[in-house]
Structure 1
């Protein structure tokens, strides 16, 4: 059976060897042997790395991603957690779309001054309320830093 060495995995995935070594260190992937000093990985590692990348892009921590793999490295994807993350992404998309629309309005507003534009003033008020409801919330998840 032929394996992929760490350089081949890096080339095929675009993930730096140092990141691959870290992923192995924290238990996300496993090498099966060594060829000299070069780690050898089974072909399945390519799927695992795609799932890891997708999970990171979706906002999961490496610890959360690690919990989505069984002991043999096969995916064990918790549907309820995935639904919750998808709902979170939907909220973020709505927020970003509103921010995009606000920026476009501000950039294209025909008023002589933005402060004279009633739409701009309304958007700033809405943004202020939104920021007030979210203030500190993301940081609270990371230990309450402010």
Structure 2
């Protein structure tokens, strides 16, 4: 199928398909008369790629999912391994974001007229953060 048809079928833009192909995530499609012709399973691959992107995976991680494992390993085992790693990363990120949120919330109570005053207060609480 041509790239436009694949884009409609997968629900993504043609530019995304070209990007995934150039990045090496989607195998390059053979050309006929200068136009790409994709296999029917390309729509399924794109669905997995888009799902992985929405789940927070990078292009490098998605490439690993498709190409970085032994072909004898089941897809579910590959996915679960990468998903567990990504889940741990998300937990850490959420924890950091919550700490940032607490700091911002506390900082909104600031009534300093000069940044130097803020610096003095923060310095005096260095061992016991606000």
What band does the TM-score fall into relative to the shorter chain? 0.5 to 0.7
TM-score when scaled to structure 2? 0.59
Q: Unaligned regions of 5+ residues in structure 2, if any?
A: none
Q: Larger deviation: 27-36 or 38-47?
A: 27-36
Q: Deviations over 1:85-135 (max 9, x none)?
A: 21111110111122123223323x1x422739x79x7599659xxxxxxxx
Structure-1-length-normalised TM-score: 0.54
The equivalent position to 1:14 in structure 2, one of 12, 17, 32, is 12
> 1:60 maps to what in 2?
58
Structure 1 gap ranges (5+): 128-146
Aligned residues: 116
Q: Would the aligned equivalents of 2:25 and 2:59 in 1 still touch at CA under 8 Å? A: no
Q: Which has the larger radius of gyration?
A: 2
Q: CA RMSD in A?
A: 3.9
- Asked whether the 8 Å contact 1:10–1:16 carries over to 2, the reply is yes
Structure 1 residues 54 and 122, CA gap change in structure 2 (3 angstroms): farther
- Stretches of 4+ aligned residues off by more than 6 angstroms: none
Is 1:47 equivalent to 2:44 in the alignment?
yes
2:75 equivalent to 1:76:
yes
Matches within 5 A, 1:1-146: 3=1, 5-10=2-7, 12-17=10-15, 19-30=16-27, 33-34=30-31, 36-56=33-53, 58-62=56-60, 64-69=61-66, 76-77=75-76, 78=78, 79-107=80-108, 109=109, 111-113=110-112, 115=118, 126=129
The answer (yes or no) to whether the contact 1:32–1:40 under 8 Å persists in 2 is yes
Larger RCO, structure (CA 8 Å, separation 6 or more): 2
